[in-house]
């Protein structure tokens, strides 16, 4: 495993262990009714994190065998991540299944990160017009993104608590 990724994989797995228990104890009204600034419920935010794990897994794989820069759809641009959330209807997904899918998709992403070939770190993905992102930068940013959305969930959990 690439040494500089150890804090990232450790951070992801630690957060999964902490949050799985926390998420499983949330009441239905909290996960389905409270919304963040993007008008997403906790169920939808968790669904977005599943999509993120899935898309990043695919990007990491593609960046290790295709010629750089890699053309791979950016599901987050032009509101597409909201389309993904709506099409998959995370709002109606079984909560316990959603938690498990979130956990295992991120555990798998950790496994994929642990097996990245060092010589592929500078390969780039075309994230948008005139914005290429290296494999290294993409992996490095994942934990920040993961924490950002877990913090949004935490804010929604604590909404109205003085």
Give the domain ranges of the chain: 3-157
- Residue 88 has phi, psi (to 5 degrees) of -85, -10
Q: How far apart are CA 135 and CA 119, in angstroms?
A: 10
Q: How far apart are CA 106 and CA 110, in angstroms?
A: 6
* CATH superfamily, with its number, for domain 3-157: dinb family like domain (1.20.120.450)
Largest CA distance in the chain: 53
Structure tokens at 155: 């804010």
pLDDT tens for the chain, residues 1 to 162: 899 999 999 999 999 999 999 999 999 999 999 999 999 999 999 999 999 999 999 999 999 999 999 998 888 776 788 999 999 999 999 999 999 999 999 999 999 999 999 999 999 999 988 899 999 999 999 999 999 999 999 999 999 675
Residue 74 confidence (pLDDT): 83
What are the angstrom distances between the C-alpha of 132 and each of 73, 119, 129? 12, 18, 8
Residue 68 confidence (pLDDT): 96
Q: Strand, helix or coil at 117?
A: coil
Residue 130 confidence (pLDDT): 84
Residue 77 confidence (pLDDT): 74
Residue 162 confidence (pLDDT): 57
Residue 134 confidence (pLDDT): 98
Q: Can you say whether the dihedral through the CA atoms of 81, 56, 30, 91 is positive or negative? A: positive
Q: How far apart are CA 133 and CA 122, in angstroms?
A: 9
Q: How far apart are CA 95 and CA 100, in angstroms?
A: 9
Structural element, H or E, at residue 132: strand 131-134
> Model's pTM, two decimal places?
0.95
């Amino acid at each position: 495993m690439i040494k500089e990724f150890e804090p990232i994989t450790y951070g992801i797995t630690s957060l999964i262990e902490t949050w799985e228990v926390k998420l499983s104890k949330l009441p239905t009204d909290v996960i389905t009714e409270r919304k963040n600034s993007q008008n997403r419920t906790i169920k939808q935010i968790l669904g977005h994190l599943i999509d993120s794990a899935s898309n990043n897994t695919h990007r990491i794989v593609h960046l290790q065998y295709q010629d750089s820069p890699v053309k791979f759809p950016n599901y987050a641009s032009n509101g597409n991540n909201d389309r993904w959330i709506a099409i998959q209807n995370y709002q109606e997904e079984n909560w316990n299944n959603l938690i498990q899918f979130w956990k295992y998709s991120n555990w798998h992403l950790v496994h994929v990160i642990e097996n990245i070939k060092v010589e592929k770190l500078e390969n780039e993905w075309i994230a948008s017009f005139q914005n290429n992102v290296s494999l290294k930068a993409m992996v490095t940013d994942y934990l920040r993104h993961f924490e950002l959305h877990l913090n949004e969930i935490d804010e929604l959990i604590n909404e109205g608590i003085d």
